[in-house]
Amino acid sequence: MIEIGVINNPRMAQAFVDYLAVQKIDAKVAQTDEGFAICLPAMTHVEAASAELDLFLADPYQQKYQAASWDVADSRTASFSYGSGNMLSNFLLHAGKVTLVIFAMSVIVFAAMYFSMLTQNEFIFAALHFPYDLSISSLSEFWRLFTPAIMHFSVLHLVFNLLWWWYLGGLIENKLGSKKLLLLFLVAALIPNIGQFLLSGPNFGGLSGVVYALVGYIWWTAWLAPEQGVSLPKPYIGFMLVWLVLGFFPLFGLNVANAAHVLGLVVGCGQAFVDHKFKSFN
């Protein structure tokens, strides 16, 4: 069997195989440690199937893929096991180690901040917020340069950022590896945090700057190096760019870290350009 690529979601993998069947290309789904591999029995249709896979990964929710599953449902002979198929397994399947660690740390820090606030002892915030200045003495607690990224101040703030982090971080980690996502997280926490501090002081937090870095990275990687198989549907990119602009207007009474958002997007686009220039995606 010839493996042409891996899809993280088993149902999406089967939908793609069904679409290939409609195109008269025989393919199977095989579960591996990396996800669900798309395999061909011979080299005959590898080039065509690989091209179709790139198109599928760019926009897997097109109607033609759903229609293909209906078309071949009655004739499908493969008995592929999807596992338990519950929400938790699908959640874990999409995410990698770095994605899950940052996700868990954000939840734990939010819970700790909430309970410390109830006791009127905000020691968690005191330990993790950005330094009050950038002097050499204050930078002895260097972790403060990064930890505001995992601090959130409301449930909505937390949920919104973590959903995007899980989706975007999992996509990058599964395609390009844990080291790449960790590097993006560190750089996208550091530079936007410094920019936000210079604009508004140390009282800020949230993963949104990192999220915008991931949006920029995926957006530009799909443009500069589509062969990496990392992309976002255009409506997703459009939504995040519109949300970025709306942050500069007090429409919802929210205190938005605009500097972190903009710098995060710039960092992500810049990192994609560097990786393309030096061929260092993995």
Q: For residue range 19-33, what is the model confidence (pLDDT) as tens digits?
A: 888 888 888 888 776
Q: How confident is the model at residue 1 (pLDDT cuts 50, 70, 90)?
A: low
Element (H, E) at 31: strand 28-32
Top-confidence residue, 29 or 138: 29
**H-state helical runs in 144-177:** 155-164, 170-176
0.75 exceeded by pTM: no
Q: Give the pLDDT score at 145.
A: 95
d(CA 134, CA 168): 31
Residues known to be catalytic: 208, 261
pLDDT tens digit string along 191-249?
999 999 999 999 899 999 999 999 999 999 999 998 888 888 889 999 999 999 988 88
Q: Give the pLDDT score at 79.
A: 47
Q: Give the pLDDT score at 194.
A: 95
Q: Give the pLDDT score at 99.
A: 95
Q: Which domains does the chain have, with CATH numbers?
A: 2-85 (3.30.70.2350), 95-278 (1.20.1540.10)
Cα→Cα distances 33→16, 96, 174, 176, 180, Å: 19, 12, 11, 15, 19
pLDDT tens digit string along 66-115?
777 666 655 554 444 444 456 777 788 788 899 999 999 999 999 999 98
